[in-house]
């Protein structure tokens, strides 16, 4: 399994970490209880697992992320592209844009991105 592949529950925890880091682990369990309905032990188990995979670190009861949200998102979208669209970006975009209207602002943003990427 790739280091960057996060399960739903792991991603949700990381979401909280990214938002609040650096965060006290006790504090984190409280947020997880409230937002995810997790028991304290569940949160700690999850922290330990992710720490083992170097996705976050837990030092002196302070949790910080070792991965950026952007990295994970990049990995996820690449995996999706590879999995479902044989790595073809146009095929992905075609599927994505089907039955969808882009606003002018969104279209401009995308255009800008494409220009930057092809430079």
Residue 77 in the binding site for another protein (CB under 8 A) = no
Q: Are 89 and 98 in contact (CB under 8 A)?
A: no
Residue 5 in the binding site for another protein (CB under 8 A) = no
Q: Are 62 and 24 in contact (CB under 8 A)?
A: yes
> In the complex, what is the shortest distance from the CB of residue 7 to another protein, in angstroms, rounded to a whole number?
6
Residue 36 in the binding site for another protein (CB under 8 A) = yes
Residue 96 in the binding site for another protein (CB under 8 A) = no
Among 14, 23, 28, 46, interactor with another protein by CB under 8 A = 46
Closest Cα to residue 55, out of 46, 45, 40, 65? 65
**Which chain residues interact with another protein by CB under 8 A?**
7-10, 12, 35-38, 42, 45-46
């Amino acid at each position: 399994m790739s280091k960057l592949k996060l399960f739903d529950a792991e991603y949700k925890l990381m979401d909280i970490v990214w938002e609040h880091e650096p965060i006290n682990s006790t504090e984190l369990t409280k947020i997880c209880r409230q937002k995810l309905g997790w028991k304290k032990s569940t949160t700690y188990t999850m922290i330990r697992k992710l720490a083992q995979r170097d996705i976050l670190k837990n030092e002196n009861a302070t949790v910080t992320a070792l991965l950026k949200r952007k990295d994970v998102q990049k990995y996820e979208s690449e995996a999706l592209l590879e999995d479902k669209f044989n790595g073809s970006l146009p095929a992905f975009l075609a599927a994505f844009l089907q039955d969808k209207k882009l606003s002018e602002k969104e279209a401009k943003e995308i255009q800008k991105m494409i220009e930057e990427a092809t430079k």
